[in-house]
Amino acid sequence: MRTASIKRKTEETNVEVELNLDGVGTHDISTKVKFFDHMLATFSRHGFFDLVVRAEGDLSHHIMEDTGIVLGEAFKKAIGGGKVESEKREKTMRFGYAIIPMDESIARCAVDIGSIGGEGRSYTVFEADFGKERVEDINTENIPHFINSFATHASFTIHVYARGENEHHKIEAIFKALGIALDKATRIEERK
């Protein structure tokens, strides 16, 4: 099983993540930010990642940023760390993508999880215009911030492009697309 369990405590937040890449999509998420909980549950379900996230902190911005950091570290560890010689990492598909609609919204996501050896290379492209600063209990600017934190600490390249009218739908489509793209990219390919 490709799993990781990571804890991180700072003056601002206390975050714990347990991840199983070879799961079925079960999840137990509690970040004190309801819409973020909904998005992480969606990510787990559609990516078939078993995921436990426990986070608390002073501000929702810090909670989302630091959860991105710990989730990124968990992915990096679960797929075989940054080691060039890691056999399991080298056998992952590496690339994955998804184009996912939700009603009037659509999100495209493409990922590269294996920039040779995974030695700290990462890149984030996020193109989605939000018409509102708030959706449910989060600031929309925290979505690209979370994804960039995640990509940086996982050493992944992540591209996200989304459009739509309803911000809830647009963001939910992004998290579904990210989960599905990462599910494909983390699959073991025995031909490698």
Give the residue with the Cβ less far from Mn ion, 75 or 175: 175
d(CA 101, CA 85): 38
Binding span for Mn ion by CB under 5 A among 44-52, 83-91, 108-116, 168-176: 168-176
8 A C-beta contact, residue 48 and residue 96 = no
Q: Which residues contact 11 (CB under 8 A, 6 or more apart)?
A: none
Size of the site for Mn ion (CB under 5 A): 1
Binding span for Mn ion by CB under 5 A among 11-19, 61-69, 114-122, 172-180: 172-180
8 A C-beta contact, residue 89 and residue 83 = yes
Binding span for Mn ion by CB under 5 A among 19-27, 94-102, 108-116, 167-175: 167-175
d(CA 73, CA 150): 8
* Least separation in angstroms between CB 43 and Mn ion: 12
Give the amino acid at 164: G
Give the residue with the Cβ less far from Mn ion, 13 or 105: 105
Give the residue with the Cβ less far from Mn ion, 79 or 135: 135
* Least separation in angstroms between CB 168 and Mn ion: 6
d(CA 189, CA 24): 18
* Binding interface with Mn ion (CB under 5 A): 172
